[in-house]
């Protein structure tokens, strides 16, 4: 997920408020003397930050292993106890909703072409998983050896062996690409590349032992079928040259997120359907259809137990439909309440006896 920085500003503010879990009187009032940014210490392999705002709001983050959790809400102090109360999603807030429609412009055109380029590059990488055509350098630097005539001769021999391994790998890759479904040829290309890596490493070691610089050597040459397509300079194109399409932008502006891997089915007024998936920027695209417009979107969030949501929209023949997902509803809040004890300038979390939040 990436920051949803390009959703229009009014889309960022058009969000339903979260339900406040407890009145201020129950948790005490915000203490301006405690406001600030705190960092957790004393808990192994865990990182956590706590921001106490003077207005009584807080932001909390924790990361341990592969798990990241966040919470926002209200905080207050009573005596030596600081209580954090996490916001709960409002029952009236839809999980997914269609927001604004935006016109097609140069930035959206660039996104469309970037997506097409990425899909092409992914297909090429699956077809040709043998690396890029580029010069190689020494892999493991080491102190040069004493050198000598015999060492220099061994280095030159190792260089010839590496060149032969490189050329053999070039031929093996070309044969495998011509018959991509031939498992034996792909295995042979894998073996040839492994032999090239070993030979190149041996060459490096031999030249270092000889006390002379390791020569640069080009990697195996990939055939045209393995070359990524050239990127286009969209800025140089006139609007008449734009490809244009129907697009969606999926994110959660309340949490400054764009959502990738979200399934989107574009349902056209003539019954045609195009299926897509949002990429890293939260974008998904469908080609335009003459005489038809998209009037429904079926959105599928990659979450266990999630039921696809159908969103009726105003007919869209070209342009962008923004979709807001309230990601706070997709996972349980990390806590309802978190209590901390004031200890001088630090806050000691009740749930982590060894932990200590120190202000910076």
| Stated pTM of the model | 0.63
**Which pair of tokens denotes residue 235?**
């800025």
Specify the residue for token string 């990659």: 302
User: 145, 141, 111, 131: which is closest to 189 by C-alpha?
Assistant: 131
Q: What is the pLDDT of residue 7?
A: 39
Band (139; pLDDT cuts 50, 70, 90): very low
d(C-alpha 100, C-alpha 94), whole Å: 15
Q: What is the pLDDT of residue 5?
A: 36
Q: How far is the CA of 127 from the CAs of 165, 179, 188, 231, 282, in angstroms?
A: 21, 10, 14, 20, 26
Instruction: Answer yes or no: is pLDDT of 228 > 90.
Output: no
User: 115, 121, 126, 125: which is closest to 278 by C-alpha?
Assistant: 115
Residue-averaged pLDDT of the chain: 87
Band (56; pLDDT cuts 50, 70, 90): very high
CB atoms within 10 A of CB 266: 26
In this structure, of 54-68, 132-146, 273-287, 292-306, the range with the lowest mean pLDDT score is 132-146
Specify the residue for token string 């920085």: 5
Q: How far is the CA of 341 from the CAs of 48, 61, 301, in angstroms?
A: 17, 18, 39
Q: What is the pLDDT of residue 283?
A: 97
Instruction: Answer yes or no: is pLDDT of 153 > 60.
Output: yes
Instruction: Answer yes or no: is pLDDT of 122 > 60.
Output: yes
Instruction: Answer yes or no: is pLDDT of 66 > 80.
Output: no
Q: What is the mean pLDDT of residues 273-295?
A: 96
Return the DSSP state at 157: H
Q: What is the pLDDT of residue 67?
A: 78
**In the chain, what are the helix, strand and coil shares in percent, each to the nearest 5?**
30, 30, 40
CA dihedral 304, 91, 265, 322 (to 10 degrees): -120
Angle of CA points 187, 192, 198, to nearest 5°: 130
d(C-alpha 309, C-alpha 47), whole Å: 35
> What phi and psi, each to the nearest 5 degrees, are found at residue 145?
-80, -175
Q: What is the pLDDT of residue 330?
A: 79
In this structure, of 61-70, 125-134, 288-297, 313-322, the range with the lowest mean pLDDT score is 125-134
Q: What is the pLDDT of residue 197?
A: 96
Band (333; pLDDT cuts 50, 70, 90): confident
Q: What is the pLDDT of residue 23?
A: 52
Cβ atoms of residues 355 and 42 within 8 Å: yes
**Which pair of tokens denotes residue 218?**
């080009």
- Who wins on pLDDT, 2 or 113? 113
d(C-alpha 286, C-alpha 293), whole Å: 11
Domains in the chain and their CATH numbers?
16-88+333-359 (2.40.128.500), 96-121+241-329 (2.60.40), 129-222 (no CATH)
User: 20, 17, 26: which is closest to 76 by C-alpha?
Assistant: 26
Angle of CA points 133, 123, 201, to nearest 5°: 30
Instruction: Answer yes or no: is pLDDT of 30 > 80.
Output: yes
> Using one digit for the tens of pLDDT, what is the confidence trace for 34-50?
999 999 999 999 999 99
Q: What is the pLDDT of residue 280?
A: 84
d(C-alpha 31, C-alpha 191), whole Å: 66
**Which pair of tokens denotes residue 14?**
């058009």
Among the residues of the chain, which ranges form H helices? 9-13, 24-27, 106-127, 149-178, 183-210
Q: What is the pLDDT of residue 68?
A: 81
Q: What is the pLDDT of residue 25?
A: 62
Alpha-carbon torsion 71, 94, 330, 282, what sign? Answer: negative
In this structure, of 85-99, 140-154, 280-294, the range with the lowest mean pLDDT score is 140-154
Band (76; pLDDT cuts 50, 70, 90): very high
Instruction: Answer yes or no: is pLDDT of 244 > 90.
Output: yes
Q: Which of 103-112, 132-141, 328-337 has the highest mean pLDDT?
A: 103-112
d(C-alpha 226, C-alpha 124), whole Å: 6
Order across the sheet with 263-268: list the strands.
273-277, 263-268, 294-300, 309-316
> Using one digit for the tens of pLDDT, what is the confidence trace for 97-116?
999 999 999 999 999 999 99
Q: Which of 83-92, 96-105, 324-333 has the highest mean pLDDT?
A: 96-105
Cβ atoms of residues 162 and 202 within 8 Å: yes
Instruction: Answer yes or no: is pLDDT of 141 > 80.
Output: no
d(C-alpha 171, C-alpha 8), whole Å: 52
Cβ atoms of residues 87 and 72 within 8 Å: yes
Instruction: Answer yes or no: is pLDDT of 138 > 90.
Output: no
């Amino acid at each position: 997920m990436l920051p949803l920085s390009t959703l229009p500003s009014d889309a960022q503010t058009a969000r339903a408020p979260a339900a406040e879990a407890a009145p201020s009187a129950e948790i005490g009032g915000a203490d301006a003397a405690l406001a600030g940014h705190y960092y957790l210490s004393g808990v192994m392999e865990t990182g956590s930050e706590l921001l106490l705002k003077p207005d009584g709001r807080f932001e909390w983050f924790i990361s341990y292993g592969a798990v990241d959790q966040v919470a926002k809400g209200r905080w207050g102090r009573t005596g030596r106890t600081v209580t954090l109360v996490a916001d709960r999603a409002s029952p009236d807030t839809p999980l997914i909703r269609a927001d604004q429609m935006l016109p097609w412009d140069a930035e959206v055109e660039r996104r469309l072409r970037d997506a097409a380029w990425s899909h092409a590059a992914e297909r090429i990488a699956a077809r040709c998983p043998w690396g890029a055509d580029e010069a190689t350098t020494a892999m493991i630097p080491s102190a040069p050896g004493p050198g000598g005539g015999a060492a220099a001769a061994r280095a030159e021999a190792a260089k010839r062996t590496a060149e032969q391994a490189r050329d053999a790998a070039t031929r093996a890759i070309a044969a495998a690409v011509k018959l991509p479904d031939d498992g034996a040829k792909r295995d042979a290309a894998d073996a040839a590349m492994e032999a090239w890596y070993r030979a190149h490493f041996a060459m490096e070691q031999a030249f270092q032992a000889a006390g002379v610089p390791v020569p640069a050597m080009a990697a195996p040459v990939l055939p045209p079928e393995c070359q990524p397509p050239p990127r286009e300079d969209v800025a140089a194109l006139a609007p008449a040259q734009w490809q244009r399409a129907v697009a969606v932008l999926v994110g959660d502006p309340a949490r400054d997120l764009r959502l990738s891997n979200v399934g989107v089915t574009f349902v056209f007024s003539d019954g045609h359907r195009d299926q897509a998936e949002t990429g890293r920027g939260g974008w998904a695209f469908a080609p335009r259809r003459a005489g038809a417009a998209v009037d429904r979107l079926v959105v599928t969030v990659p979450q266990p137990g999630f039921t696809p949501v159908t969103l009726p929209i105003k007919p869209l023949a070209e342009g962008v439909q923004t979709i807001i997902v309230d990601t706070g509803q997709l996972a349980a809040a990390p806590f309802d309440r978190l209590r901390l004890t004031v200890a001088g300038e630090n806050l000691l979390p009740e749930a982590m006896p060894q932990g200590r939040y120190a202000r910076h």
